[in-house]
Amino acid sequence: MRLRRKRRILRCLRKARELTVVSDNTGSIQPDDILLTSTVRNEKIRLPYFLKYYRDLGVNHFLFIDNDSDDGTLEYLAAQPGVSVWRTGHSYKKATYGVDWTNYLLRRHAHGHWVLTVDPDEFFVYPFCDTRPVRALTDWLDSTGVRSFGAMLVDVYPKGPIDEERYREGQNPLEIASWFDTGNYTITRNPAYGNLWIQGGPRCRMFFQDNPRKAPALNKIPLVRWNRRFAYVSSTHALLPRGLNQVYDDSGGEKSSGVLLHAKLIDTLGAKAEEELTRTQHYASSTEYRAYAQHLQDRPSFWCKWSEKYINWRQLEILGLMSKGNWA
């Protein structure tokens, strides 16, 4: 595992040559700032609300990698305060689906910081997030010696077909996609990295009903007190050293955990799927996006009798999808 970690770090250092700085405001980062990093492509429509959401939570500085956008994403981000942006036209797939670029920025700019690593359609929910900023969570994690915080990806969707209501730039996506699956999840433990492997939810039952093992993974470790010796291995599903993946309690208790509300299932998905099928830059020859493109032609509705409308984090805790653990 030490060799794997060293190889990951060497890879990210090599891949750093593929990044060109567009707007570097990292000189304004203070020692105790909370950071966020994200790799984006053609996400301008999502970014105004995304930035507002995380600024409201207490994120101090954003590190973005733009992978050859042509919709104004790069220009929009470069004009934002508290944002640093790099661009690259190189292969997302050959950069381990962006992980190499992310690892480099984390190593270069996030050492010693708490940092969130999320996609532009993911919204971090944690215990007491309605009354406490994310710094309250990181301060508590520091006081308990915890270096990483897990979150389950929970897909949200509308009640009707996803193309029935158009998403507007700057809109809170939960205004049109507020339903989620309360169950239908499977959990196993990855013996190699020690992380949990969670699958299920609406994308599994709709797109992968014939082969649920091919469904997207829902386990994430998005919040980490970063050290330049760390490296993500597979998106934010697993890290090295292995101990960072122990975000659950296997002795009968409960560790605090959160949720990433995943607003992928809105009307923008159809165009995104077609684009990614052309690019073939995603995992397993873009199998996931091929399934999306195939099934979305029938305008399916994800809503079912077991769907529940999202209210708040306490609801998610009652359903067992997250936990406040010992944090009071």
| Nearest one of 40, 45, 39, 38 to 61, comparing CA atoms | 38
Assigned domain for 327 exists? no
| Nearest one of 112, 40, 33, 114 to 78, comparing CA atoms | 40
What is the average pLDDT across 244-262?
Answer: 91
Mean of per-residue pLDDT scores for the chain: 94
Range of the domain at 247: 2-318
Give the C-alpha separation, 75 to 42, whole Å: 11
Question: Cα(first)–Cα(last) distance of the chain, in Å?
Answer: 36
Per the structure, the count of domains in the chain is 1
Assigned domain for 325 exists? no
Is the confidence at residue 283, as pLDDT, over 70? Answer: no
Beta bridge partners of 153: 260
Specify the amino acid at residue 140.
W
Element (H, E) at 285: helix 283-296
Higher pLDDT, residue 271 or 2: 2
Is the confidence at residue 112, as pLDDT, over 60? Answer: yes
Assigned domain for 272 exists? yes
Assigned domain for 324 exists? no
- Its pTM stands at 0.95
Assigned domain for 326 exists? no
Q: What per-residue string of b and e applies to 173-204 under the rule 16 or more CB within 10 Å gives b?
A: beebbbbbbbeebeeeebeebbbbebbbbbbb
Dump pLDDT digits (tens) for 302-319: 999 889 999 999 999 999
pLDDT at 304: 93
54 Cα distance to chain centroid: 13
Assigned domain for 323 exists? no
What is the average pLDDT across 8-15?
Answer: 98
Dump pLDDT digits (tens) for 228-237: 999 999 899 9
Is the confidence at residue 168, as pLDDT, over 70? Answer: yes
Q: How confident is the model at residue 251 (pLDDT cuts 50, 70, 90)?
A: confident
pLDDT at 296: 82
Assigned domain for 203 exists? yes
